[in-house]
Amino acid sequence: MPRRRGCMRRKSVLLAAGVLAIAAGVLPLIVVSWVQREQALGTQQQHLDDVAASTARRTERTLDDAKRALVRAGSIDRADCSHAHLKMMGQVVADARSIEDLGYFEDGKLLCTRLGVISPPVPAGDADLDLGDGSTLSYAELPRLFRGEPRVEVRRGDYGVLITPGRLTDLVITTQVVYGVASSDGRVLEASGVVQPQVVQMLLAGNQPGTGGQYAFSSRPVAGLVAFALTDTALTGATAGLEWRHLLPIGAAISLILIGLIIWVSRQQLSPAKTLELAIRDREFVVHYQPIINLANGRCIGAEALVRWQRPGTPTAFPDQFIPLAEATGLISPLTDLVIDMGVAEMGQYLRGHADAHLSINIPANEMESGRFLHGLNAAVAKAGLRPQQIWLEITERGFINAAAAAAVIGNARSLGYRVTIDDFGTGYSSLSLLEGLTLDALKIDKSFTCVIGADAAQSIVADHIINMAHALKLTVIAEGIETLEQEAYLKRSDVQFGQGWLYAKALPIHQFLAFAAGKGVTAEES
């Protein structure tokens, strides 16, 4: 009996020791998990505050840009919707960063926009918000001379501007945060994702972050509106907490090892900029080639090099998803070098066999100002055995370009034999002043003008003016975004030399492009 009791006592001690061992192994993990989750929530809240503040600043800059355009429009000495008046209105739009259209009002009616005359005139809608400086804001105005969703409109005096969709939230945010701008009555003007109405009401009510249970959020007032950022707290908890229930509870030593691993892993987490830097170093990018067609005879006479990011385990990323980050972090230079190196090498054999063909490469404005890229381009062209005349450089603009600096680089590039094109003419910062200050070979019509050919007479007029101006300046004209035979026929009649678009093919990997160029059956539908 005592022996049996002693055996039971040993079992009890062993059981207690086992429980203590399990507790020693699991409890530190639970504590670490809880602490890490609280820290993650705090970090997430600070991130939300930063995103909301950035959204407010972006909204304020966009509204200021619209107001400056209205002040400039108000100084126009025209009030007749004449061709000259429309042209001056168009110049205001071209020089602004954030507006899509400019309209002229008289006696409470919209008479015309920079795209053409409104017939009959349309009564002006009531303003939703007084901005307090003679300007008013309307939440949802429909474009009158082109199709599109409702836009935010800012009006002052006899003029009103439509803000380009997405400008209020034009930020590079790579986390799972929804951000946007709402009115004081709960209407979401712009957002980067889906926002539930009850969440907006919590934001406007001034509740503390996380009060709703499911969401953490932050907001900032801006010009009578509310800039906000929010995220689902479940996502933060899921990514921050340790999966301690699935770990083998084998003691405090293992817990320390796991904590050390967690610390090590956390230090390996990379910022978006660092991720992009490593991706460029590791050449995670590929170049696709969109065919350029000679509209006179239908022959493929070259291609535009378009970069794609193929991150392991993730969908292919398109330029608008990483180019802004590259430009903001100074990584656009090595990325440009990579595209030049890959594009010239992959297209080398094709270009050597087709002396009249060319490869178009996008060169950012800052690169065209410095000329830094020319050394690498010269080396790549020489290595591939190509003539510089087969390389066309397309000036891409995402910010103001120093025309004087660019002019010197362009002159140097053209003296070497390269041809220089201004890309997406008529949008962004592209303007007539660039044509006056730069010596160019070609002009590319933006797809926003091509896509409305046959559907929007006013936009077609703008396209006509661009084409006629280019012909007068003896520039080669390329039209992008061709999708229909009607558009192609229109451009042929207008003596546009080259075109590209989905009517012919999307951007293709090199082997598909070579098959397309050789006429081996790769079509726009198959691509």
Give the 3-state DSSP-derived string for 161-212, with helices as H, strands as E and coil as C: EEECCCHHHCCCCCCCCEEEEECCCCCEEEECCCCCHHHHHHHHHCCCCCCC
- pLDDT, tens digit, 9 for 90 and up, residues 141-173: 777 666 767 888 999 989 999 988 888 887 777
Share of the chain above pLDDT 70, in %: 77
Helical (H) or strand (E) element with 444: strand 442-445
Cβ burial 195-209 (10 Å sphere, 16+ → b, else e): beeebbebbbeeeeb
Q: For residue 508, what are its two tokens?
A: 């293709």
> What is d(CA 72, CA 333) in angstroms, rounded to the nearest whole number?
35
Query: Phi/psi of residue 71, each to 5°?
Result: -60, -40
> What is d(CA 393, CA 419) in angstroms, rounded to the nearest whole number?
6
Q: For residue 485, what are its two tokens?
A: 């035979």
CB-based contact 404:435 (threshold 8 Å): no
Mean pLDDT, range 336-353, rounded to an integer: 95
Residue 4 has pLDDT above 60, yes or no: no
Mean pLDDT, range 319-333, rounded to an integer: 89
Helical (H) or strand (E) element with 342: helix 332-353
Check residue 390 and give its pLDDT.
96
Of the given ranges (34-48, 318-332, 413-427, 506-520), which has the lowest mean pLDDT?
34-48
How many CB atoms lie under 10 A from the CB of residue 321? 14
Q: For residue 131, what are its two tokens?
A: 């901005």
Q: How confident is the model at residue 265 (pLDDT cuts 50, 70, 90)?
A: very low
Check residue 288 and give its pLDDT.
96
Residue 60 has pLDDT above 70, yes or no: yes
Q: How confident is the model at residue 127 (pLDDT cuts 50, 70, 90)?
A: confident
Tokens 């501007």 locate to 161
Burial of 405 (0-12, 13-18, 19+ CB in 10 A): middle
Q: For residue 418, what are its two tokens?
A: 């390269």
Q: How confident is the model at residue 508 (pLDDT cuts 50, 70, 90)?
A: very high
How many CB atoms lie under 10 A from the CB of residue 180? 22
Round the CA-based radius of gyration of the chain to a whole number and report it: 29
Burial of 446 (0-12, 13-18, 19+ CB in 10 A): buried
Q: How confident is the model at residue 36 (pLDDT cuts 50, 70, 90)?
A: low
- 64 Cβ contact list (under 8 Å, min separation 6): none
DSSP classification of residue 229: E
DSSP classification of residue 321: G
> What is d(CA 477, CA 499) in angstroms, rounded to the nearest whole number?
8
CB-based contact 483:502 (threshold 8 Å): yes
> What is d(CA 214, CA 199) in angstroms, rounded to the nearest whole number?
9
Length of the chain, in residues: 527
> What is d(CA 411, CA 439) in angstroms, rounded to the nearest whole number?
7
Helical (H) or strand (E) element with 104: strand 99-106
- pLDDT, tens digit, 9 for 90 and up, residues 469-497: 889 889 999 999 999 999 999 999 999 99
Burial of 444 (0-12, 13-18, 19+ CB in 10 A): buried
Give the three-state DSSP class for 476: strand
> What is d(CA 502, CA 287) in angstroms, rounded to the nearest whole number?
18
How many CB atoms lie under 10 A from the CB of residue 109? 13
Closest by Cα among 135, 104, 136, 102 to 121 = 104
Of the given ranges (35-39, 167-171, 236-240), which has the lowest mean pLDDT?
236-240
| HSE-CB for 34 with a 13 A CA cutoff | 5
> What is d(CA 455, CA 47) in angstroms, rounded to the nearest whole number?
45
Which domains, and CATH codes, for the chain? Answer: 11-269 (no CATH), 273-517 (3.20.20.450)
